[in-house]
Amino acid sequence: MRLSAFVSFAVAFVSVVANNETGVPVGTPVPGDYTGPLRPQVHFSPPQHFMNDPNGCFFDGVDTWHLYYQYNPTAITGGNQHWGHAISKDLYHWVNEPIAIFPPDDNTQVYSGSAVIDVDNTSGFFPNQKNGVVAIYTLNSPGKEVQAISYSTDGGYTFTAYEGNPLIDINNPDFRDPKVIWYNDHWVMAVAYAQANTIAFYTSPDLKAWTHASNFTNPGLIAGQSTECPNMIEVPVDGTNQKKYLLTISRGGGFPNGGSGIQYFVGDFDGQAFTTNDDRTRWIEIGKDSYAGQFFWNVPDSVQGGVWIGWASNLPYSGGLPTAQENWRSSMTAPRRTFLKTASDPALFDLVLDLYDPSPVLGKDLDAKTVTGDVSAYSVDFSSVAANAVYLEANITGIGAAQNASFQYTLASATSGESVLASYAFSGAFEIDRANTKGWTDGGYVAPIRTEGLADPGDSWTFTALFDRSMLEVFLNGGLHAGTANVYPSEPLTQVSVATSGLPADAQVSLRVREVLSGWNPPPGESGGSGTCKRDAAPRWTPKSKRVVS
């Protein structure tokens, strides 16, 4: 795996680098070219080679979000897994950092996991500081998966493996993806028995000694699929003083539109066990390209909810994405703000996964208008936007009982005739159609993505879409339904259109289309920008390192 054709390419790019594995830079960021036509400009994607799950997500308590990720620095497909690392002030402008966690030996890979700030030195690793970071992850070796930790005294930039690893070894080859949170007076780990449809909870006083506390399984967990990347957080219920625990579980297959997806359950946690009266099969997204999502640790209270990010891909086809032509594979989703809403069935709660504040990357209005009645032939050309990225909001009021109404959002290329369509029928059906793009022909990719039975929104409804070269994210009804879709045109999509039909004559549709500013390639004239990627060489801000958690 390591001796792939891409190794020599990687080496050629790396100048002053101390390597301890062929082609893997130590202590310096992997360089990246973020100019390719498929490269997202406000989503995180790896500088080169293959990325999958987000790992170790945390906010430092001052000004910096840390994102680690499953990273193969030596090939364009998965394998040889390390923890790559990037930081951001706003979750849209990213700076690549050196690889953070390396495999301990040639037979072992560093798989997914999480990170916490050990403010109270429970681990004993941090005698003189309050910002020590502990990463908790799976070590995968032939025939066995065990849980291990590494600690960082410099705020999460460099890590030392704990000499007592592994911490949990139950002689199981499918036991992975620990996500750790703090509960009152102890640490809690959710970890997957990947082939047993079961999540285990372990507890610990010090992040080192772990005790099995409970198992969670549920009739709503579809059978016969791998179980990965459990995540549990406490989130507010909108409009109430209530908080509930949300447990998300990634599934290697069985998603209704094919391939992988993420299920969720809402319930209670007593420090030892998660319980719920919800045994329905519910998925967090109506899009197909969202897996292994993770909640950030230590999110500021002002956010009022969790902050989540996912791997924007689908397992069966993730190794084939055409972005390999630009020598990288896979992007993360945009950041999402997560909270719960009381559902029409009072025993249940609905998940909201809305776009996290995009204002740092939104530029000028390209158009804004309000239409009375149906919208027809509304189209905005965004070919002048350097990032080839566009943001659209549509708010509809006065829908009444227009069950036959429908809404269509289209992205199109003026030159190639390609298009992508996202359509919503107010009877409760949503569809994304990527079949009219020519950049990829994979069967799972061109198949329609269709969800039925979405709840009636009532008299008003909102639609928000963030399009970013090869990424489309849509948010319906205030984020109650979120959909992520990779989009692979052969020519840039440069026109965005909206049309409706069947709305009452007095319905109001307010539309706003805004340019999106690149987080990777600032335009000429903007500070630090030159039209090409300067991020790795000269980030436009310097993180306040060695900071204290407030």
Ligand X SMILES: *[C@@H]1O[C@H](CO)[C@@H](O)[C@H](O)[C@H]1NC(C)=O
Cβ contact 478:238 at 8 Å? no
Q: Please, which residue, 532 or 550, has the CB nearer to ligand X?
A: 550
Quick check: 26 binds ligand X (CB under 6 A)?
yes
Quick check: 512 binds ligand X (CB under 6 A)?
yes
Instruction: Write the single-letter amino acid at 156.
Output: G
Of the CA atoms within 13 Å of residue 466, those in its CB half-sphere come to: 28
Q: How far apart are CA 84 and CA 65, in angstroms?
A: 14
Exactly one of 5, 12, 16, 127 binds ligand X (CB under 6 A); which one? 127
Q: Is 155 helix (H, G, I), strand (E, B) or coil?
A: coil
Quick check: 428 binds ligand X (CB under 6 A)?
no
Quick check: 404 binds ligand X (CB under 6 A)?
yes
Span near ligand X by CB under 6 A; candidates 194-202, 259-267, 289-297, 321-329: 194-202
Q: Binding pattern to ligand X, positions 328-367, x when CB under 6 A?
A: ----------------------------------------
Q: How far apart are CA 334 and CA 385, in angstroms?
A: 19
**Can 228 be counted among the known catalytic residues?**
yes
> Token match 């999540």: residue?
199
DSSP conformation class of 311: E
Quick check: 104 binds ligand X (CB under 6 A)?
yes
Q: Please, which residue, 161 or 348, has the CB nearer to ligand X?
A: 161
Cβ contact 39:327 at 8 Å? no
Identify the bridge partners of residue 114 per DSSP, sorted by sequence position: 136
Quick check: 28 binds ligand X (CB under 6 A)?
no
Quick check: 20 binds ligand X (CB under 6 A)?
yes
Residue ranges of the alpha helices (H) in 303-436? 315-318
Q: How far apart are CA 33 and CA 12, in angstroms?
A: 14
Q: Binding pattern to ligand X, positions 219-248, x when CB under 6 A?
A: ------------------------------
Choose the catalytic residue: 53, 118, 468, 515: 53
Quick check: 198 binds ligand X (CB under 6 A)?
yes
Quick check: 1 binds ligand X (CB under 6 A)?
no
Quick check: 195 binds ligand X (CB under 6 A)?
no
Exactly one of 77, 121, 141, 490 binds ligand X (CB under 6 A); which one? 121
Number of residues that bind ligand X (CB under 6 A): 21
Q: What is the closest distance, in whole angstroms, from the C-beta atom of residue 24 to ligand X in the complex? A: 8
Quick check: 11 binds ligand X (CB under 6 A)?
no
Measured between its terminal Cα atoms, the distance across the chain in Å is 43
State which H helix or E strand residue 10 sits in: helix 6-13
Dmax over CA atoms of the chain, in Å, equals 70
How far is CA 334 from each of CA 277, 306, 337, 485, rounded to the nearest angstrom? 31, 14, 10, 11
Q: What is the closest distance, in whole angstroms, from the C-beta atom of residue 173 to ligand X in the complex? A: 13
- Taken in order 4, 8, 10, 11, is the CA torsion positive or negative? positive
Quick check: 196 binds ligand X (CB under 6 A)?
yes
Quick check: 124 binds ligand X (CB under 6 A)?
yes
Cβ contact 431:288 at 8 Å? no
Range 457-486, binding ligand X (CB under 6 A):
462
Cβ contact 274:214 at 8 Å? yes
Choose the catalytic residue: 228, 285, 433, 468: 228
Q: Please, which residue, 15 or 20, has the CB nearer to ligand X?
A: 20
Cβ contact 358:391 at 8 Å? yes
Exactly one of 13, 183, 193, 541 binds ligand X (CB under 6 A); which one? 193
The residues annotated with a catalytic role in the active site are: 53, 228
Please report, as ranges, the residues that interact with ligand X according to CB under 6 A.
20-21, 26, 102, 104-105, 121, 124, 127, 193, 196, 198, 200, 215, 393, 395, 404, 462, 510-512
